[in-house]
Amino acid sequence: MVKKIGMAALVLVAIILVSGEAMAETREFLMVTGEPSWEAKPGEAPVADRNRGPVKKMERYTFHPGFLVVNRGDKVVLKIHDIKGDKHIVTIPAFNVPETQILRGEEKTISFLANKAGIFEIKCTNHVDSHKEGPMVGYIYVFDKR
Ligand SMILES: [Cu+2]
């Protein structure tokens, strides 16, 4: 009897290892939005701000942390707290994550299954270019460890 149970457990472990599902985990990240800025000192020359051209002041909205690493097959949970900015609209097109609006002071949760490997953008569609203090973008690196 003990031998049969032991064999059944061994087969189950083998199935789990072969399928790779034993490695999948839930990965939760606590993120905040930020707003770094730059302003020319008195007498300092303007600098180019991407598509805006020469400026003496610029700002960018950001995600912190802005680079996440998970394994393929992981469930990813992002808890994003809007500390800076009136409104962010977050999406991850590569995983068909629908747009989620986050207002100042709010924290929203976004979940998805990281079912393919590569480096993908976490984007805010409210801050798309330098005219809107963007692009506001983070990256998720889905590691293909199998
Ligand atoms: Cu934004």
CA of residue 85 to ligand 1 center, whole Å: 7
Low-confidence ranges of the chain (pLDDT < 50): 16
Which pLDDT belongs to residue 145? 75
Which residues, in sequence order, are CB contacts of 2 under 8 Å at separation 6+? Answer: none
Residue 4 counted as domain residue? no
Segments forming the whole domain that contains residue 81: 24-143
Residue 114 counted as domain residue? yes
Residue 42 counted as domain residue? yes
CA of residue 83 to ligand 1 center, whole Å: 11
CATH number at residue 99: 2.60.40.420
Residue 2 counted as domain residue? no
Beta strands in the chain (DSSP E): 26-34, 37-39, 47-48, 54-55, 57-59, 62-64, 67-71, 75-81, 87-92, 97-103, 107-113, 118-124, 137-143
CA of residue 76 to ligand 1 center, whole Å: 20
Which pLDDT belongs to residue 24? 85
Which pLDDT belongs to residue 5? 65
Number of folded domains that form the chain: 1
CA of residue 111 to ligand 1 center, whole Å: 18
CA of residue 103 to ligand 1 center, whole Å: 10
